[in-house]
Chains A and B, each alone.
Chain A
């Protein structure tokens, strides 16, 4: 962003009279808004369509398929519909807090997106406390949810809000510990530095760096699911117990804000997992050299585009797994959830940090053999997984529509 802002100052003479910091500020805000409008908001909407289609195929149905090709514009239709709905606010609801809560939830979530990289220089704000800022700012969501639960003047909402606050706050700790592990390895809190410390090939990712990293990855993944109120941790929204939890009294666009936050959070989970453990946007050097060598404007755009595609594909795999888990597993009860966090994930997080710290003292430069062995193990697991999938497809003996676009 700095370079782009300098470029603008050179090109446009009037801007040179302002102090440079103001130009940087405006440019950064404009880019943040652009990123939100062009990427995050459409992505959250499209993700709602993707989730409905995937859920439907898993349930042996089809999903939305009327509005546009394969129902692709369903999310636009839903958005327009909710904007046109009557603005209902319960008479006894707290007038200020009720209106404020969705915005807080929204803001807390989207403020975290400024530190998500799209490619090696496409990032809105490459802060040197990047990942720390991310965890901190997503906790604003708790305040919003508590406000929503309390101000609805509804016992169910209150229950849902309390449960959600307890859940999110409890799972911050294992998530923070897992992220700490990555910070040990990379030596920096900045997300771009963390990605640059990894390589493009799987054995250069942090995930396969030493045997404690998969533990950290699993802890981070489960904790992020819990922070995002996704099944199996969706007790705050458990439809069968609390109607809709903290968002019961909301209708129209305010209701959509809460679920928008949930879908955007899925991408956040995936992006954090990709950036920290799966090598982010790193391209193999040969591919990058080829992309740069195409020359001219394409030579500038193409490497960034390829990096974005790499990042996006890795994040998409995690997004798919998150959606898959939601529609397969039942939800766990609130006390089981607390037990899981405090008695299992937090000790795992501590064990992982201790293990990685000891590993780094013993082997300051890493052990390539361990990397290759762990990669081989992961590949074997993946192959076994596909074998099981093939077995299940054969075993069902039903006419299975393998084409997802029935």
Chain B
């Protein structure tokens, strides 16, 4: 019998696909199930945000920073505001700092809810996704009361935050937190203790500690591989030195087939970070001082010529802002360094020999958000 000639299939997990989180393209070479290569192709969401910064004034650029990562918009706002404040040597009030941290941690909770929910949905569990969205709706209502927006907040300003809390807002948030923690347990039982999910995610796409550091992972991806590195603890900024919280690290806990650095670890790190954010929020509401929320800054800010680099711990990792000023009222160069972009580098290496279904689980566990990759 003659040898059957087999060919490898070039599959395009194209820009339009129900489960690449955003508009990314993967060129997958597969023989049906097992891939021999999966090369990501990015750039479909490039909106030249950094170039636009060179034409927009410092104050006027704030809404654009929301769109850098619309799921962690508060973090991007605050990172940009911190960069400008450092260059222009503006000190903001304590109340402003606390309000920023409150907004960022609430954003972290809802971003992780969406990440975990869509990971479940990609693996086939449709129900926990809707439960996560239900919680997200409650927080969206709270944030809408705070700053008027549900997704792209435009909340931070250079010098603080634009709106103070409405009366009784803190009580509403604390009520939400009280009912959120048991629901987090319920959500956990539906997904985390599910044997099928553990088999789907355990031992899949293992990123070892060395690989994670070499390939520039940040945030929950890095912590999922066992590296205990969190900018809020290791290079603290804002009021984080005064707050007490743990940094969860992946420990290969998906039962007997779990390895440190697999998809399940990254998933568990996000679940735990949500509880830590709840702790931080409670402490913030206890400690927030009265006062002003915005300092007076000139309408046209002209920072002195120079550059600065700010690192913050956004929901997807290390969000870095590099700002170069030449003394005028528009930035000379603004660069965002985002966590999702860093996570794309390792996909090609890990995907060799993986199955197509595992590629989906891998991308979902990396919590890649396409606008962050392309800006």
Contacts and interface: CB of A to CB of B under 8 A. Distances in A.
Contact of A328 (B18, B33, B127, B179): B127
Contacts, number: 84
A234 B124 contact: yes
A265 interface: no
A333 B357 contact: yes
A24 B297 CA distance: 94
Contacts of B200: 330, 332-333, 336
Interface stretch (A13-21, A35-43, A239-247): A239-247
Contacts of A61: 130
Nearest to A238: B124
Given A60-B130, A162-B32, A240-B18, A231 B179 contact: no
A210 B182 CA distance: 42
A12 interface: no
B264 to A, nearest CB: 12
A238 B359 CA distance: 14
B11 A155 contact: yes
A59 B121 CA distance: 13
Contact of B194 (A55, A239, A329): A329
B350 interface: no
A330 B124 CA distance: 4
Interface in A211-248: 231-232, 234-235, 238-241, 243
A396 interface: yes
Given A155-B9, A232-B124, A241-B19, A334 B130 contact: no
B18 A243 contact: yes
A329 B196 contact: yes
Interface in B176-217: 179, 182-183, 186, 190, 194, 196-197, 199-200
Interface size band for B:
20 to 34
Given A59-B126, A59-B127, A328-B125, A240 B197 contact: no
A159 interface: yes
Contact of A243 (B17, B121, B130): B17
B231 interface: no
Contacts of A59: 126-127, 130-131
B347 interface: no
A60 B32 CA distance: 37
B368 to A, nearest CB: 14
Contacts of A328: 125, 127, 190
Contacts of B199: 332-333, 336
A190 B344 CA distance: 59
A231 B127 contact: no
A395 interface: yes
Given A241-B356, A395-B182, A330 B125 contact: yes
A35 B58 CA distance: 73
Nearest to A333: B357
A397 B180 CA distance: 11
Contacts of A241: 19, 356-357, 360
Contacts of A327: 126-127
A329 B124 contact: yes
B66 interface: no
Contacts of A335: 33, 355
Interface residues of A, number: 32
Interface string A25-52: 0000000000000000000000000000
Nearest to B131: A60
B127 A332 contact: no
A59 B129 CA distance: 9
Given A240-B124, A241-B19, A333 B130 contact: no
Given A331-B124, A396-B186, A240 B360 contact: yes
Contacts of A162: 32
B88 to A, nearest CB: 46
A58 interface: yes
Nearest to B129: A59
A159 B125 contact: no
A58 B17 contact: no
B360 A332 contact: no
A159 B32 contact: yes
Contacts of B33: 334-335
B336 to A, nearest CB: 29
Nearest to A234: B124
B313 interface: no
B359 to A, nearest CB: 9
A396 B182 contact: yes
Interface in B119-167: 120-127, 130-131, 134
A389 to B, nearest CB: 14
Nearest to B121: A240
A398 interface: yes
Contact of B355 (A155, A240, A333, A395): A333
Interface string A83-98: 0000000000000000
B358 interface: yes
Nearest to A326: B126
A397 B120 contact: no
A158 to B, nearest CB: 8
Contacts of B360: 240-241
Contacts of B120: 330
B196 A232 contact: yes
Given A333-B355, A335-B33, A239 B18 contact: yes
Interface string B64-78: 000000000000000
A349 B197 CA distance: 26
Given A58-B127, A232-B124, A327-B127, A397 B196 contact: no
Nearest to A163: B33
B6 to A, nearest CB: 13
Interface string B32-58: 110000000000000000000000000
Interface string B287-319: 000000000000000000000000000000000
Contacts of B9: 155
Nearest to B119: A330
A398 B179 contact: yes
Contacts of A58: 127
Contacts of B19: 239-241
B191 to A, nearest CB: 8
What 5 pairs between A and B have smallest CB-CB spacing? A331-B124, A240-B19, A59-B130, A330-B125, A330-B124
Interface of A: 55, 58-61, 155-156, 159, 162, 231-232, 234-235, 238-241, 243, 327-336, 395-398
13 contacts: A58-B127, A155-B11, A162-B32, A238-B357, A240-B19, A241-B356, A327-B126, A329-B124, A330-B120, A330-B125, A330-B194, A335-B33, A398-B183
